Structures are given as structure tokens and as C-alpha cells.
Structure 1
Amino acid sequence: MPNLRFVGGIAWMAVTIAGCGAAITPSSAKAPMPSEPTLINFVDPSVVQGLSTRTLFSGETGKRHVHAVYPAVPGAPRLTEKLHGTVREELDGFTRHGAPANALPKPEFNVDWQLAAASPEVLGVRLRIGHSMESGWSEARTTVWYDRVKGRALDSADLLTDRPALVTLAGIVRSELRLRGPLVTPNALRPDREMFDSLGFNPRGDLVVEFDDEQVGLGVAGRVAVAVPSATAAPLLSEIGLRAQRAAVQAKKTPAPTSREEIKAASTDKPPARSFMAGSVDCAKLRCVALTYDDGPGPETARLLDVLRAHGARATFFTLGSNASARPDLLRRMRDEGHLVANHTWSHRDLTMLPPTKIADQLTRAQHAVAQIIGQVPTLMRPPYGDSDIQVATVAGRLNMAVVRWNVDPEDRWDPDPRAIADRTVARAEPGAIVLLHDSHPATVDAAPEILRRLSEAGYTFVTVPELYGSREMVPGRTYDSGGVSTAPDR
């Protein structure tokens, strides 16, 4: 995938996705043809034992918004290395060639992922790498495959037998693109491995070829993809390609709603999220502080939960929907140990740069994922990077969520020194404070025992965010920065 060639779009759930494009001809298989033949049914990541996420970076770096996450699977170190290298290369390219760091709005880089297939023999990981430039938001897609039998990490082009197969596939795809109209440029297509770096399969086994934005069409064309019928594609596939095709066809499909209305309806029959210990502490009489953790769950979250339990402390976890889907066990543990689970969007996009429909999409998909896991619907959301405005607050209010920011930032996400993180947290804490921390950062978890010990000795009690307000209900659509402080969405 050439660096810095990306297209915008909504943050789709990790179980299903649809895009633009049409198949060439119907497949001969007996399964019903999907309404959109380039649709890929992604695998629920929670079915892959031991799968977790790795955060390359999340936050501001050089006045740029960056959130880069990819999956890691036990026993597949070469896959993890390849995914890390791919994301690292793209991030480095964005930093070198992207919009100036002092540009307004702030440049943004975002990586989301899904499992294209998962079986005992093969894994497929599809990365969506997006960024904003002066010309707007754009996105690229690349799918990395892993041969679990031979322990090899492979490019998508390795699903094909050889160079002649790539040339043949390019000819088939080019012929289809010629039928697409003036927004597509078939002559831009070349039989290069880099142009065919995102190959997957739809539920019928048809080979889905998708391209980066502006690679074979104008930016306004959206996602450009072609479905090649399975019977046509099969002779072009290598041994690992055929195994990948079987894995995609045989994968257990997790039923999921595909519209915001269906997602909202699927969550309305559940009670609002609330710590079962809420009401046990009177913050009008005690020195209360709310520790909040963003961007998880991840590899460090279980260790943090151990520390909190050992100190009898509770926290509020603003979880990402994509990470929650990968580690539902950790969300259930948060709920069962008295913590509060809240919404941090699906894939950590800067909401102030999105139209209302896509703000709602980011929030409702995360809302649905969390509600399905813990049986409760979050009532709080935290905007990524803390960036919010009237539009974000209004959409959150319509979804029955209050907006929560913070008034204490120990700047943990940039610091590898646990002692320094603890020192800043303790020095800046005050009664009623909402403290911003990140359970995706190992040093933050290392700092947790010292933070809890020193604040406890100073007389602090650790509560979830709503408990700071006592009997006053947090109002949907209002923004809360600390205990006792809120603003209406029309400010």
C-alpha cells in the first residue's frame, strides 16, 4: 500500500461491513447472493483465544491527533511484527509528509482493524488507515494474512499463485471498473502487488479486491471494490489463498444490526450502566476523586483491575467499542467489580471533524458493543482528545449520554516514568476532580499502586464519575469537567 493514500468513512463494527462496488457476475454457489457483493462479514475477534490489542500511540503528538491500534494473537509473533511495521511505516509517513503540525483543524491519523478470517490454519487482519490532510479526510485499506500452519505473515498478493495470476486478476478487475462510470479511472490500475494489498472474501467465497482512496478513482467515489466470483478466482489462488477462502466462507457469522436505528433498538431494552456500589459514598462529606481510564481495554487492563481491587478503589473506564469487542471478558470484570463502563466511541475519531450522522455512528456502535457485553447501556461518553463542541454534545444528548472531560491531566500517555506520573497525579488532585489516565499505557498501570496509596493517605475516596454529583443526575447533552461543574450543549 503506497504511503499516504487514504478515504473517509464511518467507523464500522468489527463484525460486519459494507462498501461500494458490484460483483462481475453471480457466483454459481447455492448460498444467497448478498445485496452488496463486496460486503465482507468480519469475524468476531472475541472468538480468537488470547487476542488482544496493541496501541502504537493514542493522543496528541507534535500537535497532531494520533490513534493507532492493531491486534496481537498469541503464537503469531510474525503477524504482530508485520502489523506493527505496517502501522509504524504509515505513521512515520504521515508525520513526515502530512499536514503541518500547526495546521487548523489539527491533522489526524487513525488506524482501525477487523478480522477478515480466522481458522486453525489462517488469520486475516484488515487495517483501515485514515488521515486528514489539507484536502480533507482520506483512507487506505490493507489486509495482512497469516499462515498459522507455516508461521508466515503474508501480503494480500501472496494469496495469488504467481505474477501471471496477478496480471490476470488485474485484467478482470479493470474490465469491471470500466463499467463504473466517470468517477473511476480503470487505466490507473496496474498489476502491482502494492495496488492489490487488500484482498479478502465475501460469505460466498468471491474474491473481494478493494483499493485505497484516489488509487483508481476520484476521492468522491468513496470505497472502490470489486467482487470476483469464486469460480473465476479459484484458479488464481495459491494454497494459502484457497485456505483463506475456506476460512472466510466457514467463519461463524455473528448476527449484528447494520443501521443506527437497529443498533439503538438493540440497546434500549437494557438498564443504564451504573456501579452496583453507587450510593455507598457521600461525596458531600468525603474527599472524593474520580480516576478515569481511556482507550482500553487492552493488555494492561487486567493488571490495573488487580491493583484497583487490592486497594478497594473504583474507577470509570471510557472504553473503545473496537477494543471492547476484542476483550469482552475485561468489560464484564469491570462491571462485576463495581467500576463503571462508559463510551469512548468506536475507533477514536476526532468527533468535531465529523458530520452529525458519523458522530452518531461512532457513538451508537460503541454503545451497542458495550451494551451487548455487560447488559447495561452507558450513560457517559468522553470525546477522543477531549475535543467537543455544540454538535457533539447535542448528538450525545440525543443518545442519552452526558459528555465527560476532565480537570486533572497528569500527561501520562507521553511519559514512560511511573514515578513522574504518580507525582503529577497526586500533586494535581483535588476534591471532586476527574482525573484523565490511560489503561493502554504500561507506565500508567505501573503508577497506579503509588497513586492509590498516596491519595488514600491524603484522605481521598475513589468513586465513579456520577458519584461525584451525589443525588444530582448527570444530564444527557451536558458537559462535565469536574465534580459540580457542567455546561449545557448550547453554550
Structure 2
Amino acid sequence: MMRQSLAVAMSVVLAGLPGWLEPWVPAFTPTEWADIDAVEWHAPEPQETGATIDEPLHPLDPATANGFVPSRIVNGSLGLNARFLMTPASGDHNSVTLDLVRSLIGDAEKATDKQYSPEAQDTTAGLNDRGCVEGSTFSPLGEVLRDPALAPAKHEGVSMSCDVMAAASTLLVQRIRLINTLGEKPVDRVVTVITDTSRATTVPAKHLWNDEGPRIVWQAITETLRHEARGLSLMPPQSEPDEALIEAILGSAVPLTDGALHLTIPQGFQTPELEALGVEPLAEARTLKLTPEVAATALSETGQSIMAAINSEDSLLAPDAVLPGKRDIDCSLFACVALTYDDGPSALTPTILDALRDHGASASFFMVGSRVESYAAAAKRVVTDGHLALNHSWSHLDLSKLAAGTIDANGDATDPDDLPSEEDRKKAVDRELSRTSKAIVAATGVAPTAFRPPYGAYDDAVLKIAKMPAILWDVDTEDWKGVAGDDLVSSIVPVARPGSIVLQHDIHDSSAATIEQVLDGLENRGFMVVNVGQLLGGMPASGAYSSSR
């Protein structure tokens, strides 16, 4: 009977199932289960990992980088758009920063098979907007690539941007973003530059960590991402850090004022633990914040001292100030142009000097010796402000004719039948130059290192007598003809090329009145306005130069 009843029950159950896949349900509930309440099961919450993922980090206003020089290089041929900060004085900070720029240039040259050379852009380029842009290293890649101020200069190219993350005591911490869209997929990476402003040196971010730092960071990232993927293993990650990935991660560390550390996890990050959960490599970079407690276990002595300085309430100590004309500027990298002024000094010279000071620019003043004593204060200020006081002869005579003996020391024609001796001609040229140099030394304390022959007239004899290089020009404003206003500006701003030497005169109202417009226009095209020594990479010992090209 029992066997028959069981058979009937089984047939009823099976008849109601649409195949063998249906789950088996007991026909009755044991009486002892009747009073048990049903409980909904939830996955346990992940344990604390000492890190949080994608936590917002707020950069500082770039103006907090007091004393740093906002800079920018744009090159359309290679699609380069690089924004960065420099220190006025040469040092590790500038070397490290410009090496990053050069690395982008190298990537672009390799991808495009083109060679880099400095470029100036058109007059509407807006390149007087320079330096860091707040939040630029945190914006989604798509946003950056749509922003002309931050994106590569072409649809495919390379770019560099920066954020100021901390500024206290002698330390400035920057987050620098490097983007390359020239390959199949964009490469988007971040590095941290920590600058000691007292010495213009840098501390690589990887030096923040002790020997256990790489393992601690790797484990924190892996465990945090594993918990995000709902992996419930309580066993600490066991995989060894990938050398390239961990180096990039440690190099991106940003020390925070609350004692925490902010890291960038690069695109492509993957570990065996994450792979076992079916987690794909990161499609885009993400960020991780280590708590102060975990960060403290991973910091080296250097890292601890840096963290202490950043957490101090001291204001940032600005780097040493250096006059614009004394700065070391690589004009094979930057688009440089040299403004030069002849025939002064004069009562107009200070107006030009004021504008140069306000723009952080440098220029070269070729002085007529007979005017120096009358305007000794203006001549002195040229040197005090860091510009070049150079030689333009005593009487503004044609030195080539003086050397040939076809004019005399007064500029009058010489009787061809009564030409002076070679020695007398040499003395006449030498007197024009040496007398001027002595006047400049008396007024400024500095001897000229170059001269400009009046009218641009010189020959080998003049160069030999001068024992200085002759500086000519390739952009002539002809301000002496009365060219003024917009016409004068237009003779310079759209015409200048990288390496150009521009001729003006600081004795004409028009050149003093338009100096602000000229500087604004040149900076807008991306130029660095420098003196001829900077343009030529140091003043040559001899020869004649109309540009650096």
C-alpha cells in the first residue's frame, strides 16, 4: 500500500514538471520548521581596506604657485599643446618639467615622422593663457579632448596639463597629465612633481615610499577593486606587483594635507585576483586614496618629512626671483623673439622698461655713446632690470666707410687722393666703439658684449676691429619713418618668426606708445620675448647675426 501511495505521489509531482530541470519541492513542511521566520540573505559588506576608490580630490588655484612662471608651448605640426610651470632660476624642476615636454615631442616625432622646431601661431591663438588650469588633470579624458585650451593642438597629437595640489613651506606639489592620441588608443598618464622651492630641486614621488610601499599599495588597490567587484575572499591578495604598473602608480602619488596619499591607477591595471573574478583591465585611469594610517606604514623618511612640511601651516616659500634677462631659456624648444632698441637711451626708455617688467620680458638696447652720459639713469636701469646694454657707436657713423677711409671722424667725405693710413682708419673705428663701451661701463658698471653697426653697415675689417659680434635684424619696423599705431604693431606681431630679431628705436614716441600692444601680440602668438644673448644661446664671440635661424 505504501509503495503504491509513493508511486502515485511521484507521478503527481512529475506530471507537474516541465522536464527534469524543474527543482524538486518537498510535498510537506516538517512541523518543527513551522515557527521559523524566513530571513532574506544579503552579501556581507566588504571589510575596510584602508583605501577608497574614485574619491574626489580638489586641486588648488594655480595662483598659489607664487613665484613660478606660467608657461606654454604649442606646435601644430606635431599636435603639441603643453602647459606647465617653471622656476625663474635653472634647476631640477625645470629640467624634469622640460624633459616631460621633450618626451611628448619624441612620441609625436616617432608617430608622425616629423622633426620638431619651435612654432609661433596666428594672432588669434590666445597663447598668453599659460600654465596650469585648475582641475585639468582630473577631468574625464573626453572633456579634455574637447577643450581647445587643454587638448592636443590637432585631433591627433600630444598634450600636457598640470594642477597645483599642495603649496606649503618650501614644497610645491604638482599633478601633471600627459595625453597621447597618436596611437590606436589614447594613452593618458599622470606623474607627480614635488619641488623644493628653496633649491629649485625636485623629489621624485617614488622616493616617498619605503621598501614595503610597493607591496602595501599593490595590495590596497587589488583588495579595494576586488571588494568593488563583490569578491568576498578574506585572504589578502598574494600576487606580486607588476614592475611597470607599480612604478607608474608610485610615481603618481600626491601627498595630502590630511596625511592621506592620493594615487592614480593607470588604464590597463589588472592582477591575477581580479582576473579570477572576471574583472576586465581598467579601461580608464582611476584614483585611490590611502588613509593616513595605511599611508604612514608605507612612507620613507623622505616621505614623512615631505608629509610634515605639506601639513604645516607655513605659506609657500617662493623660488628665488631671477630677472627675465638672466633666465636660461632654450630657444630650440620655445618660440623666441628678440626686441632690440637703437639710438638711445632717452626719456622714452623707462616707458619701454616698465612694459617689459610687467610682462616678464627682456630686450636689448644698442646705445649711442654720445647720449649715454645725458641719460645715465636710464642706461643704468637697463642693466639693473636685467636687459642688455650694447654698443651702437659714439657718433652713429657708417663704420664700413670709416674703416675704408671714405669718410672722416665727423662723417664728412674724404678726398680720394688723401686717404688715411690703415692704422688711422683702424683707430677711427676703434675710437667709435671703445669710447662708447667706456661710457656704458661708467653709467652701468657692465661692459657691452656686442655691437650693432649703424645702418647695418660693416665689413670684415670692422668685425676684426670690434672684437665683438655684430647684431643685425630680420624685422625692420622703420619706426624712424614715422610709422605709428596699428601700422607699427602690424610690422612686428604678424611678421616675426621664431628666432627673429626686431629693430626699433627707443627715441621715437611710436615705439614707446605701442610696446604694450607689441608684447601682448607676441605673447598671444606663443612667443617668449628675450634678449639677443638668450636668443642665440649665449652671446657669440664674433661674427654677424640677423636672427638665430
TM-score of the aligned structures, taking structure 1 as reference length: 0.41
TM-score of the aligned structures, taking structure 2 as reference length: 0.36
Q: Which has the larger radius of gyration?
A: 2
